């Protein structure tokens, strides 16, 4: 292979810069900040599956940062984390509404 052939290679074959993981994470965290603060710790204790799922995804993101995952992979894992946090808040809100409805019926 000649030197001029190296310059003729498509850009996709050249190494891409690493994704800006901290910025991507901060953006996702900002999107679910209210959802996370709305989940009381005692609710998470009663629903360990939600906590474990969120923790596992966060651990996975840390591992992806360490190993240099692609931005596409990392963003997909972040999207799952956002969805999981929002689902947990929705479940909490449903339970709260149902318990409020039950309290009204008892009076």
Query: What tens digit of pLDDT does each residue of 5-46 get?
Result: 545 555 555 567 889 999 999 999 999 999 989 999 999 999
pTM of the complete model = 0.75
With b for 16 or more beta-carbon neighbours within 10 A and e for fewer, the 66-103 pattern comes to eeebeeeebeebbebbbebbeebbeebeeeeeeeeeee
pLDDT of 105 reads 44
With 70 as the cut, is the pLDDT of residue 102 above it? no
- Predicted confidence at residue 23, as pLDDT, reads 93
pLDDT tops 50 at residue 49: yes
Report whether 57 contacts 86 (CB < 8 A).
no
Residue spans per domain, the chain = 19-106
Q: What was the pLDDT predicted at 9?
A: 52
pLDDT of residue 14: 58
Q: What is the pLDDT of residues 62-86, one digit of tens each?
A: 999 999 999 999 999 999 999 999 9
């Amino acid at each position: 292979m000649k030197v001029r052939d190296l310059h003729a290679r498509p850009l996709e074959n050249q190494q891409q810069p690493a994704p800006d993981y901290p910025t991507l994470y901060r953006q996702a965290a900002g999107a679910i900040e209210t959802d996370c603060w709305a989940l009381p710790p005692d609710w998470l204790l009663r629903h360990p599956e939600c906590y474990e799922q969120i923790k596992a995804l966060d651990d996975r993101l840390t591992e992806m940062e360490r190993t240099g995952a692609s931005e596409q992979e990392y963003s997909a894992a972040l999207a799952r984390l956002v969805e999981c946090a929002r689902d947990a808040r929705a479940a909490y809100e449903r339970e709260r509404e149902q318990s409020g409805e039950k309290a009204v019926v008892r009076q």
